[in-house]
Structure 1
């Protein structure tokens, strides 16, 4: 219990330093809830709605793990034949010469080398497979592709095939304000605002969920698609999403990815997973502070939530992300 208290203290300390109005920490060990911690309010007003187990945070870029599962389904059902298929076979609207040797694998592991200017012009930063860069263009490309392949939005697909069988009721792409939603803090001196989208088709950063259901999402992956004794998602789908799918890099400092998840292989300096986290662990995170960490070796799932943009501050961003996962690993190391 003392080690868990250290995790709580760390999370709350970062909340204060970063001037987030809210934090939550939810931990599953051996498929049992061992910690729930809620702190703060839905916005930066002390008379605002208190954070509870029902508070739904915008998970920002952590939504990519949901897209990743839909992509894994598309591979499993042969709607995408292979990760090594040429991207030009799927994206006729993008110049084939620009895409070059870009594959689906490159797009889902941030090794594609494509970027977009403010005017929408797509250009190439580096040759596919020769580097790693976090950009938004590949996420939008894969979202539109999966939506087209399933003839419905991937959120609709997930609701039917995954969320309903799991019993998830607090996870959705939100387009309207409601009291359960935690506001996003951009300026600590100003009132928080709802981070909503115009659409719920997965093309925008408007996925909200509770710490509880975020952890259950991690648990689905930890348990290879089994929930409540039922195989909800094929084991092979989960494995595709959470195993290392990155090309072999010459630079061993670069992060490794599954289908958008960060996956621990040989610890890498530029990875957002700390060096003390066991091999085979995987993590997803977002700019507003959500982190979902799964450590299969310890049978642990940790969901951490904040609601402040640019957590941890500037150059310290990577250090604190790595440090949190290291502290979790230290807590559960046998």
Structure 2
């Protein structure tokens, strides 16, 4: 059976109310008593009943996190950063994923609201292009922070990477490596970060007076097989692209494997640059050059902003919309 506050009180021969106050850091309880109660609670493996505590205090002490994919290296790292800040504030997290599905995103938000979370850190699915469901959060007075993927028209804090700069830097790197025909395998066309990375790609080509070939650009769903697209794009080794910048590391790895199967050498025949600097970069051969944007720090920033909103603290305008710089991590796939 689970250990209760009454069990701890009986073991220490003090009242349950004293134990409760000590565990909740009440100012009327001495530091010595708090220490004794805390040590006994750990010894007896006591765990706080957050639901019961929430019923008493009218607070759930919980933060919702909703991301497209928990298994994504970027979002997994970001969640690490979020959870550190959440834990430091005495809260816990409820983590959900939309699986890049708009309707699932709506259901997950409803679930988080039913759990009476005190705030939500939200990254939209790639299929989301209507935002009425986000008004549910406002209707329930539940503050939220946009993370990485942003919806227009909401006056809420945002944390995102500078995807435009990342795209520009990736293509600039390929240009400086002497590549002449640079293709782009983009993400979903509706997704804001896809557009920003593409715009960075285009701006780099314009800046360096490169010819723009629309056949070299394809927007696609990252969850689908892209073998046919890559094969078609690189069918003619002499006239086709000699470099590829992809929306994600996952797409870049898929491209490298496909190019190898076509008899092309990476990077001699085709240089490849991904986006995300995930663990995949060091696994694939050759090791993948990629754009990074510090997901752990971004997660910490999102949680910090959310707690400022929850506690009605003033957020200076220059901190309300955080944008993290990107940089290229150069490895063998583009040397």
- Is the shorter-chain TM-score for this pair beyond 0.5, marking a shared fold? no
Larger Rg: 2
TM-score (norm 2): 0.25
Give the helix-richer structure, 1 or 2. Answer: 2
Flag the structure with more relative contact order, 1 or 2, with Cα contacts below 8 A and sequence separation at least 6: 1
